[in-house]
Amino acid sequence: MKFPYSEKVLDHFKNPRNVGKIENPDGKGLEGSPACGDMVAVYLNVNSETLVIEDIKFESYGCASNIATASIITEMAKGKTLEEAKNISWKQATEELGGLPTVKAHCSVLAVEGLRAAIRDYEEKHGLVSEKETTTEEVVRRRLKHVMNPMAGLDIVRTELVTKIEINEGSVRILIDLPSDHQFASAIKEDILEKVESLWDIEEVKVVFTE
Amino acid sequence: MEDKTAYFDNSASTRLDERVFEAMKPYYFDTYAVATSEFAYSMGIDAKEALEEARSTIADSLNASPGEIVFTSGSTESSNMAIKGVTSALKKKGKHLIVSKIEDFPVLNTAKALEKQGFEVDFIEVDDTGRLNTEQLAETITDETVLVSIQHANQEIGTLQDLESISNICREKGVLLHTDATHSFTRVPIDVQKIPVDLITVASHTIHGPRGVGGLYIRKDTPINKWMDGGFQEFNLRAGLENIPGAVGFAKAVELVTEEENRQIKALRDHLIERISSEITDVILNGSKEHRSPHNANITLHYVEGESLTLHLDMRGFAVSTGSACFSRSLEASHVILGIGGDHERAHGSLRFTFSRYNTLEETDAMVDAIKEIVAQLREISPLYEKK
C-alpha cells in the first residue's frame, strides 16, 4: 500500500508516544488552528530547581501530521531544559519525522506551538517572564513566521508573501501577495488573524490581498 | 492488512463494470472512425449509429428525446456549458444568476467566474438538512434573472432538492432551470415530461461507466450558445471529436442500473447508518433523513478529526472521504457542512460513505467494526473528549 507520509510519521501516528493528560501539570498549553480546525494540548511537569522537563504528555484533535509531530516533539523535549525545549523548531521536528507534505505544514506547526505555549504558561506562573513588549513591525513579523504557506511548506515571511506590515494605534494592516480568490487565501487569512489578533495591544487586524 | 480495498468513495469515482468495458472495446479496435465520416466510408456509418443509439439510451433514461442530449467530457463541462451557454444567449435579458450555496464546484465556481465578469449572483441558503427554501427562491427571482441552477442530489450529504417545486416556480416566473444531477442520475430518476427542468448535467463516472464522459440534457428550444469553438459536432453545440467508445460505455452503464440494485444499495447504506448511530456515541447524520440519494451516508463523529480517521481506515483497507479542512485541497472545511449551519467542528470529524454495486454487507460490517475501534482510540487522545 502507498501512503502520503513517511514511515516514521505513520509509526508516530499509529503509536503516538507520551499520549494523555497530566493531572495538575506544572505547565499547560492549548493551541488551536481555526484554519484547519486542529487542536493540540501539551502538559508539562518541570523540575523547579533545574528547569528540566521531567514529564510531558499531549492530546490531539487533529490529523496525522498533527499527531505525529506532537508525538515526536514530546520525545525531543523530554529531559531538556525549558530553554533548550523552547528552541526546538518545527523544522527540526519535521526533519526528525523524515519530512511532511508541504500542504500539511500548518497542522504540524501547531504541535510545536503547543509545546511553546506550555513552556510560556510555566514561565508566567513562576514569574520567569519579562514585561509585555509593545507591538512593532518586528513583533508582527515574528508571529507571521508561524503562518504557513501551504504551497511551500515554509512560512509566509520566508516565502515573501508578506509585502507590507503597517501598525497604527492598535490596528495592524498586513499586505499579502496573493489574489483574494487564490486557493489558499481564506486558510492563510484565518491563520494570520489567529496569530496576530491575540497580541495584547492590538484591537484590529486587516489582511489585504493583492487583486 | 487486506489485499483488496473496500471502496466506499463511489461519488468520487467508481470501478468500471466489465460489461461496460466489453461494450466499449469494439469502438477502439474495430469501429474507430469518427461519426462525421458517415458519407465517406461505412465504418463512419457504424460509428454514427453507435453514437445515436447511445444518445437514445441516455435520452430514454430521462424520458427525453435523443435530440435533447449532448455528449460532453463529464459533469464539469456539462455544467459550464449549461451556465455559460445560457447566460451568453440571454445576455440581452439580464445578468442575474441564482445558485444554491452548497452546489458542487463546477456550478459554484462557474457562478463565481461570471460574478467577476459583472453578473449578479445570488447564493441561496439551505436549511440544516441541506434543503433549499423554495419561497426564498421565488422571492429572489427578478426580471433580470436568466438562469437558476440548483443541484438534484448533493455531492457530500446526499440531500435531494424538491426539483418538482423548484422547476414549477421557475416555469411560472419564466426563468430557465439547470440542475446538476451528477450524484443522483439513474439512482433517483428524473422524468423531464413531468418535471419542467430545462437543462440537466449527467455523468458516467458515478455509475460504473467510463470517466471523462458526461452529458447535458437541453430541453428543445432552450436558448444556448456554443461556448467552445471548433467543429460542428453534437448539433453544433459541442465541438470536438465525438468520444464514441465513451458514449457507448456511458449508455451501457445506464442500462445496467436497475431499481432492484438501487434498493439493495439503499438497504446497505441504511444498515451502515443504523449501526453507527446505535453503536457509537456522539454522532450526527449530516443531511436529510428522508430526502436523500440512496447511496450516500455522511456522518460526523465528534471529537475526532476526519483525515486521521480516513488514514486509519485506509491502513485497514477501507476507502472513504471526509469534509475536514485537513483533507481538502484548499485547506478549507467543507462548504456543504458549513452551508447547512454546521461549524468547523462538524466538518472536522465528518465521514462520507458512498456505496456502489460492488459493496457487500460483510465489508460494510467490517468497516463499522473498524470505525468503532479507531474512534475509541482517537477519542482517547482527544483533548475535547471527556472520558466517561
A207: closest CA of chain B, how far (Å): 17
> Torsion-angle region of residue A20: left (phi > 0), alpha (psi -120 to 50) or beta?
left
Burial B64-96 (b: 16+ CB within 10 A, else e): beeebbbbbbbbbbbbbbbbbbbbebbeebbbb
- Residue B233 makes CB contacts below 8 A (sequence gap 6+) with B35, B36, B239, B240, B241, B242
B4 in reach of chain A (CB within 8 A): no
**Across the interface, do B382 and A60 touch by the CB < 8 Å criterion?**
yes
Domain segments of chain B: what residues? Answer: 18-256, 258-380
B183: closest CA of chain A, how far (Å): 24
pLDDT band for A36, please (50, 70, 90 cuts). low
Q: Which of B12, B40, B315, B326 is catalytic?
A: B326
Q: What is the mean pLDDT of residues A111-128?
A: 90
Using a pLDDT cut of 70, give the percent of chain A over it: 97
Residue B166 pLDDT > 80 = yes
**Across the interface, do B344 and A37 touch by the CB < 8 Å criterion?**
yes
| CB-CB contact of A109 with A158 (8 Å) | no
Residue B2 pLDDT > 60 = no
Name every chain B residue with its beta carbon within 8 A of the beta carbon of A184.
330-331
**Across the interface, do A3 and B382 touch by the CB < 8 Å criterion?**
no
| CB-CB contact of B349 with B304 (8 Å) | yes
- Residue A118 makes CB contacts below 8 A (sequence gap 6+) with A25, A27, A28, A29, A42, A43, A44
B373 in reach of chain A (CB within 8 A): no
Partner-chain residue, chosen from B112, B305, B315, that has the shortest CB–CB distance to A63: B305
Mutation to test the A interface, candidates B321, B348, B381, most A Cβ within 10 Å: B381
Name every chain A residue with its beta carbon within 8 A of the beta carbon of B324.
36-37, 63
Give CA–CA dist B200/B185, Å, rounded: 10
Residue A131 pLDDT > 90 = no
Residue B96 pLDDT > 80 = yes
B371: closest CA of chain A, how far (Å): 15
First to last CA, chain B: 31
pLDDT band for A199, please (50, 70, 90 cuts). confident
Q: What is the mean pLDDT of residues B313-338?
A: 86
Which ipTM was obtained for this model? Answer: 0.85
**Across the interface, do B326 and A62 touch by the CB < 8 Å criterion?**
yes
Question: Positive or negative, the Cα torsion across B235, B237, B240, B241?
Answer: negative
Name every chain A residue with its beta carbon within 8 A of the beta carbon of B312.
14
Residues 153-182 of A with CB under 8 A from B: 181
Q: What is the mean pLDDT of residues B211-216?
A: 98
Task: Write down the pLDDT at residue B388.
Answer: 52
Name every chain B residue with its beta carbon within 8 A of the beta carbon of A181.
112
Fold (topology level) of B258-380: Aspartate Aminotransferase, domain 1 (3.90.1150)
Task: Write down the pLDDT at residue A33.
Answer: 66
Q: Which of A12, A18, A33, A36 is catalytic?
A: A36
Q: What is the mean pLDDT of residues A43-65?
A: 95
pLDDT band for B47, please (50, 70, 90 cuts). very high
B73: closest CA of chain A, how far (Å): 24
Q: What is the mean pLDDT of residues B318-336?
A: 84
Known active-site residue A63: no
Superfamily of domain A137-209: Fe-S cluster assembly (FSCA) (3.30.300.130)
pLDDT band for A40, please (50, 70, 90 cuts). very high
**Across the interface, do B383 and A16 touch by the CB < 8 Å criterion?**
no
Task: Write down the pLDDT at residue A34.
Answer: 57
What CATH number does domain B18-256 carry, 3.30.1330.30, 3.40.640.10, 3.20.20.105, 2.40.110.20?
Answer: 3.40.640.10
Residue A35 pLDDT > 80 = no
A152 in reach of chain B (CB within 8 A): no
Q: What is the mean pLDDT of residues B14-29?
A: 98
Residue B25 pLDDT > 80 = yes
pLDDT band for A37, please (50, 70, 90 cuts). confident
Question: Positive or negative, the Cα torsion across B154, B140, B118, B202?
Answer: positive
Domain segments of chain A: what residues? Answer: 7-125, 137-209
Lowest-pLDDT choice from A190-194, B136-140, B263-267: A190-194
Partner-chain residue, chosen from B311, B325, B382, that has the shortest CB–CB distance to A37: B325
> Which residue on chain A is closest to B307 by alpha carbon?
A63
Task: Write down the pLDDT at residue B371.
Answer: 98
B315 in reach of chain A (CB within 8 A): yes
Q: Return the H-helix or E-strand segment holding B319.
A: strand B318-319
Q: What is the mean pLDDT of residues B61-87?
A: 98
Q: What is the mean pLDDT of residues B291-298?
A: 98
Residues 109-138 of A with CB under 8 A from B: none
A63: closest CA of chain B, how far (Å): 5
**Count of pairs with CB atoms under 8 A, one residue in A, one in B:** 89
Using a pLDDT cut of 90, give the percent of chain B over it: 88
Task: Write down the pLDDT at residue A147.
Answer: 85
**Across the interface, do B305 and A104 touch by the CB < 8 Å criterion?**
no
A104 in reach of chain B (CB within 8 A): yes
Name every chain A residue with its beta carbon within 8 A of the beta carbon of B315.
1, 3, 10, 14
Task: Write down the pLDDT at residue A130.
Answer: 67
Burial B274-309 (b: 16+ CB within 10 A, else e): ebbeeebeebebbbbeebbbbbbbbbbbbbbbbbbb
- DSSP one-letter string for B28-83: HHT--S-GGGTTT-HHHHHHHHHHHHHHHHHHHHTT--GGGEEEESSHHHHHHHHH
A183 in reach of chain B (CB within 8 A): yes
Lowest-pLDDT choice from A127-136, B168-177, B187-196, B243-252: A127-136
B136-156 pLDDT per residue, tens: 999 999 999 999 999 999 999
A184 in reach of chain B (CB within 8 A): yes
Strand segments, DSSP code E, in chain A are 27-32, 39-46, 53-61, 148-149, 154-155, 162-168, 171-176, 204-209
Partner-chain residue, chosen from A59, A63, A107, that has the shortest CB–CB distance to B383: A59
Name every chain B residue with its beta carbon within 8 A of the beta carbon of A106.
331
Residues 85-144 of B with CB under 8 A from A: 112
Q: Is A156 helix (H, G, I), strand (E, B) or coil?
A: coil
CATH 3.90.1150.10 fits A7-125, yes or no: no
pLDDT band for B1, please (50, 70, 90 cuts). very low
Task: Write down the pLDDT at residue A68.
Answer: 96
